Amino acid sequence: MRFPSLAVLLAKASPARSGDDLAGLSACNAEERIAAQMSLAAVPLSRFLNEAVIPYETDEVTRLIIDTHDSQAFAPIAHLTVGDFRDWLLSDDATGPKLQAIARGVTPEMAAAVSKIMRLQDLILVAAKIRVVTLFRNTLGLAGRLSTRLQPNHPTDDPKGIAAAIIDGLLMGSGDAVIGINPVSDHLATVET
């Protein structure tokens, strides 16, 4: 199978999601998804710096990512493909300090790509290598502790619907780390509500 662009390849390699299906972005079937994941594993990480998923000229976030990319932090992994990067992340060589050293060299698209060819257990293994302890009203990030994020969504951004979802989540013990809201739209009036 051939994929015409990096954006299409990333979309087709994603796990099945109803929203992607409705938008016509997802793989048509499991065979296409697996083919996309195998193709994605062979993509050099450097391609993400040379082929923007969203055009540099039209997107402020892409410009920010590319303009602030740390090439020195990227240097130790610049020769890797997405699949090689996955293998390295899962190896004993990828220690917490090494992961923190390369962090500013990994773009969001690189992180998204490698996550699409990892199992949930792989993601947990890699995340466990880094200790990020935060202190404010709660202490989060300690070994052997689990904190959860409650992220209610409502199809029309109805405040009552969002509040009901928050209460439901809190009653189930979720949201001790943070409660966040994803507006359906990024229009200012919607966000202000």
Q: What is 6-127's CATH number, 1.10.10.10, 1.10.3720.10, 1.10.220.70, 3.40.50.170?
A: 1.10.220.70
Residue type for position 70: D
Which residues, in sequence order, are CB contacts of 134 under 8 Å at separation 6+?
140, 141
Kindly report the backbone phi and psi dihedral angles of residue 179, in degrees, each rounded to the nearest multiple of 5, phi listed first: -120, 125
Euclidean distance between CA atoms 112 and 171, whole angstroms: 32
Domain layout of the chain by residue ranges:
6-127, 134-192
Euclidean distance between CA atoms 76 and 102, whole angstroms: 8
pLDDT tens string, the chain, 193 residues long: the values are: 899 999 999 999 999 888 788 888 889 999 999 999 999 999 999 999 999 999 999 999 999 999 999 999 999 999 999 999 999 999 999 999 999 999 999 999 999 999 999 999 999 999 999 988 887 777 777 788 777 888 887 777 788 988 898 898 888 887 777 788 877 777 777 667 6
